[in-house]
Amino acid sequence: MALEISDQSFKDEVLGSKEPVLVDFWAEWCGPCRMLTPIVEELSVEFKGKVKVAKIDIDSNHEISVEYGIRNIPTLLFFKDGQVVDKVVGILSKEKLAERMQSLLAN
């Protein structure tokens, strides 16, 4: 299950994480976001203990969205050691996202 985070918990959960983190920037009204949700949830189970998977609702968490320049959703940011190392805007297949998550672990 993906972890729901907020502007307040972002620093601890993402920037302070010992493991790599995938952050899904989404909104309830966004159709493509809702299509991506099951994929993100499946990946959170498959990568449990290796990559933390988090979701942040941009409608109620403007601060982090602005800080990272999120203009389109869904946007996925991949963090390692507190730094953005990869970014996906829009929908990718589960296989492509899994490949990107594997590359987080490889580097």
Residues labelled catalytic: 30, 33
Helix (H, G, I), strand (E, B) or coil at 67: helix
Q: How far apart, in whole angstroms, are the C-alpha atoms of residue 77 and residue 42? A: 17
Look at the alpha carbons of 66, 60, 12, 102 in this order and tell me if their dihedral is positive or negative.
Answer: negative
> Which of 1, 7, 96 lies closest to 47 in space, CA to CA?
1
Taking the C-alpha atoms of residue 80 and residue 14, their distance in angstroms, rounded to an integer, is 9
